[in-house]
Amino acid sequence: MAITMYSASVPLFQQLLRGLKGVLGKGQAHCAAKGIEEAALLTDRLYPDMFHFTRQVQQATDMACGGAARLAGVDVPSLPGEAASFADLIKRVEAAQAFLQGLKPAQIDGSEEKEITITLRAGPRSFKGQDYLMTWLIPHTTFHVTTAYDILRHRGVEIGKRDFLG
């Protein structure tokens, strides 16, 4: 079976978000068990010029959903914006998972040559669908999920590769 645009995107994003949801739950449990204010982890970052933990989760979910929506030609979903707790972030990931679950292969397959333009701080950037998926969406989504994982691991949350892999 050939790899299709759908099979290279939605299942991968679902797996990454499954892992992210799991590490969020472990982060929440870690805070409860150790008497740590959740805000200490939610606002943590690996380096001063990097996004904080909450923003890493927001970026990961936005990349996965926004990218899949653009490939499918549907409206980019509005995900829950409240992010004051691990529970809020888990709800956001669940909403992202639900959106991805609703996409069908026929909506995304065949989008390899589709013109996709996104707006960045530096201005608009255009891609063909396959390049958008392979050189933008997959690397960015994976980066933000990985960075969120790394922040929690660095803070002592007992998570490992199996948790990351979902």
Spatial neighbors of 156 by CB under 8 A, at least 6 apart, are 30, 34
Domain-embedded: residue 116: yes
Tens-place pLDDT, residues 54-92 = 999 999 999 999 999 999 999 999 998 889 999 999 999
Tens-place pLDDT, residues 38-57 = 999 999 999 999 999 999 99
Domain extent at residue 86: 10-165
Residue appearing with tokens 């299942």: 11
Tens-place pLDDT, residues 110-156 = 999 999 999 999 999 999 999 999 999 999 999 999 999 999 999 99
Q: What is the CATH number of the domain that holds 151?
A: 1.20.120.450
The residue among 82, 55, 53, 62 whose CA lies nearest residue 17 is 62
Q: By the 8 A CB rule, do 23 and 148 touch?
A: yes
Region for 35 from its dihedrals, namely left if φ exceeds 0, alpha if ψ lies in -120 to 50, beta otherwise: left
Domain-embedded: residue 83: yes
- Look at the chain and report how many structural domains it folds into: 1
